[in-house]
Amino acid sequence: MSLLKDKVVLVSGGTQGVGAAIALAAGREGAAVAVTGRRPEPGEALVATLKTAGTEAMYVRTDVADVAEAQSSVAAVIKAYGRVDCLVNSAGLTSRGSLLDTSPELFDQHMAINVRAPFFLMQSAVADMLTRRAAGTIVNIISISEHCGQSYLAAYVTAKAGLAGLTRNAANAHRFDRIRINGLNIGWTSTEGEDVTQRRFHGAGDDWREQAAKTLPMGRLGDVDEIAEFVVFLLSDRSGVVTGSVIDWDQNVIGALD
């Protein structure tokens, strides 16, 4: 397979969960892959896995909440590979907080990671594409919760809804530059991070996935590999001229009432 043959793909937050699955899928499709994250251990382990599979890969230690670090991660990839063809913004914060109990500090954390970081990562990547007068693609991992979400996700929803708007705005601004920008509103997905979240905030036990599956139409949570394949499709020329789309990737239908 070669959907991303000879492309350079940067995956923000690509060291675990959805981001790691996207990095692996991009590598299988022929891309050189750069991943960022705060913790070197999983980042370096993932790069080792990619290289073992024959993928050219690098890890850039990055805290995307720091704008300078986020921008420097793009610069590091350009220095190593000469360009960034594709960007995936998958880094995210899901800590809980309602309208009444969210502190200014928690609100600012959500804005910094879930919307400000993608903004400035896109700014840096698009600037590189424009300098080279080259086409490019970007996919933002958003959330089905951006439509409304649970009451305990007030700050998260605010930031993700902002990212959805940013996705459309940037796509419109750069459509004539042949830079396609799309977003994916993913639903409830089984990841390492979700396991931590369920245990920390909801007192979940070891069988939480099985219990959750019983409540879902398809009888299971979303799978990171399925999401990754869809993201690779959006990054590739196979998705044609599609831009400015924020796609609901979920098993529940928004607006439906039983």
222, β-bridge pairs: 189
Q: Is 216 contained in some domain?
A: no
d(CA 47, CA 68): 23
Max mean pLDDT range (4-8, 201-205, 214-218): 4-8
Q: Is 130 contained in some domain?
A: yes
Quote the DSSP letter at residue 82: S
Q: Is 194 contained in some domain?
A: no
Residues 180-209 have a mean pLDDT of 82
DSSP-derived 3-state class of residue 81? helix
- Return the CATH number at 234: 3.40.50.720
21, β-bridge pairs: none
pTM over 0.85: yes
- DSSP H or E stretch at residue 87: strand 86-89
pLDDT for the residue 1: 62
Dihedral pair phi/psi, residue 236, rounded to 5°: -90, 165
Closest CA to 137 of 152, 151, 149, 126: 126
Q: Is 215 contained in some domain?
A: no
- Contact, 27 vs 33, CB < 8 A? yes
State yes or no: is 156 an active-site residue.
Answer: yes
Among 59, 81, 152, 156, the active-site one is: 156
Q: Is 46 contained in some domain?
A: yes
Q: Is 214 contained in some domain?
A: no
Domains in the chain, number = 1
* Mean pLDDT, all residues of the chain: 94
207-241 residue pLDDT tens: 878 888 888 888 988 899 999 999 999 999 999 99
61, β-bridge pairs: 37
Q: Which domain holds residue 94?
A: 8-187+222-249
